Structure 1
Amino acid sequence: MHGLAHRESESGEGTYVTTHAGAEAGSAITITEGPRGVPLLGNLPAFGKDPLAFFERLRERGDVVRWRFGPSPALFIAHPEHIGELLTEVENTFDQPDLGIAIRTLLGNGVVVAKGRDWRRKRSLVQPSVRPKQVRSYAATMAECAVALADSWDDGRRIDIKKEMAALTQLIAVRTIFGADTAADAEAIGRAMDVAQQEIGAELSGIGALLPDWIPTPGRARIKRATAVIDAEVARVVSRHRDGGEDRPDLLSRLLTARDETGAHLSDREIRDETVTLYIGGHETTSSTLVWAWYLLSRNEKVRRTLTEELDRVLADHEPGYDDYASLTYTQAVVKETLRLYPTIWLLTGIAKEGATLGGTRIPPGTRVWSSQWATHRDPRWYGDADAFRPERWLADDDAEPAEKIPEYAWYPFGGGPRVCLGTRFALVEAVLVLAVLARRYDLDVEPEEIRPVPSLTLQPDREVRARVRARGSEGRS
């Protein structure tokens, strides 16, 4: 870890000094004043205009920066040690905050939103469905769906990668969550999810974040209509599962049969909430990761060549499966580096309770503490050439040590601590296997226009991602 450091920074608001907290346990932190806000709204206008750039500017001011989310006091933390304190102490000295009516409308009171005893109960019921043993059973479906997509592509075809990856991960989600023989309307769910994501992003970074739940807005009306579509489809599929009676290997069946310590099942409403949560985790996050991976690979020929060399060597003449995952180390590094530069989840927050501390300094109860994967993942203190796409930084050297000394919680695309994303393993295996299937056969040459990330529920491209499919066989390999 880095020790105490001082530096001067320049901005349009003048010169200021920032102090980075020491990494030794119990050392006091220095809280730096953030940019001056406006009456009532605080820093919300600047945050809403460009949340990613806003958090990068705060990171440049210091490791702990005071700002105002509307009229409420808030802290932004950038140092991995403090991020680790926040994430590991959620449910103890930091509380899971109310994430807003838009997120609650979509997710209900699922495991991502629930708190305290209710969260612990739901986590214990959902977790067995996504353990490594279960993920192994889903891997074949992931690869089969990717192979079917690869078979449908032709050399020279122009595609929208965003649309193709969304359709692929929707199909994988439908089959792994609902079962291959229970055809959910993936297209209708996908359209509704797109609307929900847009409205969640708008609510989070706009004036809607300060409005009471009872105030109607056009955006809130849109997300309610989108959620109604999702609810109707989930209810239909759940009903078919209940009527089927047979034992199924999918996630939904495992949720329907799960029992808590009292022997009680999840209620219909809880089944709905957890199913939607799993769908988002299994579809939206992986789809976004794959889009950004293709975008980065298209702009880094050396990385793309190293990736395909590994795929040829490890897979030879067979399609990838779960047993190949551990051997695809460079493919894993490509996914991990993609998640560093374009983390699907770009923001985490908690509320200080009595006894909360950061770096040995007491944090007043009620203070909202924010961290941003986007800002921390691009911090040059932890990453050499931080804006560059270099999967090699994650590979072990001859001494089996990472190529760069990256502190714990300098990379946390799935969160961390007790509330780490339950679907982490599922998402990583899915991204690696899908990338392996498709990149083994094709290069995708993305058109040269810059694609910008849009922060909503997840980090999405701001437009279609158009590309030309180029069969590797056209360069001497079939």
Structure 2
Amino acid sequence: MSEPRTTANDRKQSAADADGNTGPTRAPIGTPPPGPRGLPLVDSTLAFARKPLEFLSSMREYGDVARYEAFGREFVVVSDPGLVEEVVVARDDEFWRGEFEHEFGDLLDVEGLFFAEGERWRRQRLLLQNAFTPARIRSYADDMVVEAVRLVENWSDGEVVDIREAMSTLTLRALTRSLFDLELGDGRADRVRRWVHAMGAYSDSEFFGARAVLPTWIPSRAEREYRRATADVEALVEELVAERRGSEADGDDLLSLLATGEYPDGSRPTVEEITDQLQLFLLAGHETTATALTYACWLLAGTEDVWSRLEREVDAVCGDRDPTFADLSDLAVTEAVGREAMRLYPSLPFLQREPHEETVLAGYRIGPGTTVQLNMYGIHRDERWWADPDAFWPGRWVADGEDAEGDERSVLADPDDRPEYAFFPFGGGSRHCIGMRFAMTELQLSLATMVRRVDLERVTESIDPTPKISLDSGPVEMRVRKR
């Protein structure tokens, strides 16, 4: 076996360590990462499957780079922001998304930007980024508010709602309008809704549930329902692409952009490519924002002073009208609430990468085929970077605000003292989430719209998040009080 190659980053860190600078602990070059031994035959599979977040947190006992085996493969957990930045920025060309994540794409039988690599990814990204410019997102903002108003006004005073289901409905409606220019409730849009729900049920059972360790030949009702729903959506997209290409109108929705757009070489996306892109945006775009909104509402309902401050901000900025895109820069507390919810409960609690060939990270040898897990959940709750890390405290994002005055935590709230990748809910580097601006816009506008109309009280007193497609909260019941 050849010697694992060192990089300029390893040599630079060795020099920094010699000067007494702090940073992640560096092992002698080529050392295998430490980690738990696991059980015979199954290694750490059961420990991870039972309590994945607790298991990843326990890996900190072994340091910022720790190894375990599960599901028949090797994993290395990275729990330091500087090392995360190495992987996704400084050494991005050494890593790809890896077999573990591509198995998810294979399971769902979809391709697209999320799973693409190399030149194929670059040309897709170039085409799709035109849908997420500030001007495009401004054109989607009114629809986001309209859908939030519709949702909240259908609630009754005193009604108990499952906020997770409600936020999923809200974000799916907003996405269906911005991606397809269809309103949910339209017969064609209902096909989209059925497909999204079928995909969630199928991926949860096959990839994250008990069936993940069962033979693939065992029949699955969830798979049959997903395949039927997928065929319906594929037929819908083919129909809509033909409509868009036959029309001279320039639509603002993503489907119109894809149907009429061209790659740099002048070729146009095929219907199959458009279908794959839209399916992935529907899944990731509605699920992750719904997750963030769910946790934000639940956390707010348990923190009366933060809710009161949020109300005061929205009243001061919006008065007796609904929020608009132009208000976003003034809704600082609203943004802070969203950021703090994503810090505590990131929609994707870890990112995964795989080295193209054997390499070294912080001195530890990382072999090809190893899945590198960037421990977002653990880093977001690490006391080295966050004061009172398990507390919901939006004031850390607006440290000069009224709720930071006299709070001893505010001395650690200065982002200049925190590594950039101590907070990375949208990933980072060249492959950061293309829909980040869209998601933050929807998060702020939806929260501000709801706060104008209702108060929420917790019925579900505790939550036990579980990684699935996103960080699933389980049912979250809340009582509505109309303002």
Q: With structure 1 as the length reference, what TM-score do the two structures score?
A: 0.86
Q: Deviations over 1:92-131 (max 9, x none)?
A: 1012213254433436111001111111111111111112
Pick one of 318, 322, 332 that aligns with 1:319. 322
Determine the structure 1 residue equivalent to 2:8: none
Q: Deviations over 1:26-62 (max 9, x none)?
A: 8868765222223443211211112111111112431
Q: Are 1:124 and 2:136 counterparts?
A: no
Pick one of 473, 476, 479 that aligns with 1:468. 479
Pick one of 140, 143, 146 that aligns with 1:144. 146
Q: How many residues align?
A: 451
Deviates more, 1:372-381 or 1:73-82: 372-381
Pick one of 404, 412, 423 that aligns with 1:411. 423
**Structure 1 residue 141: deviation in Å?**
1.3
After TM superposition, the structure 1 = structure 2 runs for residues 45-444 of structure 1, keeping only pairs within 5 Å, are 45-88=46-89, 92-98=93-99, 99-106=101-108, 108-180=110-182, 183=186, 185-205=188-208, 215=217, 217-218=219-220, 220-354=223-357, 356-359=359-362, 361-397=364-400, 402-403=413-414, 405-444=417-456
Deviates more, 1:75-84 or 1:277-286: 277-286
Q: Name the CA shift for 1:57/1:187 in 2 (closer, same or farther; >3 Å).
A: farther
**Structure 1 residue 283: deviation in Å?**
1.4
SS at match of 1:108: coil
- % identical aligned pairs: 36
* Cα-Cα RMSD: 2.9
- Counterpart of 1:42 in structure 2: which amino acid? D
**Structure 1 residue 343: deviation in Å?**
0.9
Deviates more, 1:242-251 or 1:79-88: 242-251
CA contact (8 A) 1:47 1:205 kept: no
Determine the structure 2 residue equivalent to 1:36: 37
Q: Deviations over 1:274-311 (max 9, x none)?
A: 11122223311111211111111111111111111111
Q: Name the CA shift for 1:233/1:32 in 2 (closer, same or farther; >3 Å).
A: same
Report which of the two has the higher share of helix: 2
Q: Name the CA shift for 1:201/1:381 in 2 (closer, same or farther; >3 Å).
A: farther
**Structure 1 residue 270: deviation in Å?**
0.7
Separation of aligned partners in 2, 1:230 and 1:448:
35
CA contact (8 A) 2:351 2:375 kept: yes
Q: With structure 2 as the length reference, what TM-score do the two structures score?
A: 0.85
- Counterpart of 2:137 in structure 1: which amino acid? V
Uncovered stretches (5+) of structure 2, i.e. residues with no partner: 1-12, 14-20, 402-409
Q: Name the CA shift for 1:24/1:77 in 2 (closer, same or farther; >3 Å).
A: closer
Q: Deviations over 1:398-446 (max 9, x none)?
A: 9999545332111111111111110010001001001101112211112
Separation of aligned partners in 2, 1:56 and 1:400:
26
Higher relative contact order (CA 8 A, sep 6+): 2
Separation of aligned partners in 1, 2:136 and 2:270:
23
Separation of aligned partners in 2, 1:67 and 1:401:
33
Q: Deviations over 1:9-31 (max 9, x none)?
A: xxxxxxxxxxxx95279886876
Separation of aligned partners in 2, 1:123 and 1:22:
37
SS at match of 1:92: helix
Separation of aligned partners in 1, 2:460 and 2:154:
25
Separation of aligned partners in 2, 1:316 and 1:309:
10
Q: Deviations over 1:55-103 (max 9, x none)?
A: 1111243101011133332211111111112222575101221325443
Uncovered stretches (5+) of structure 1, i.e. residues with no partner: 5-20, 473-478
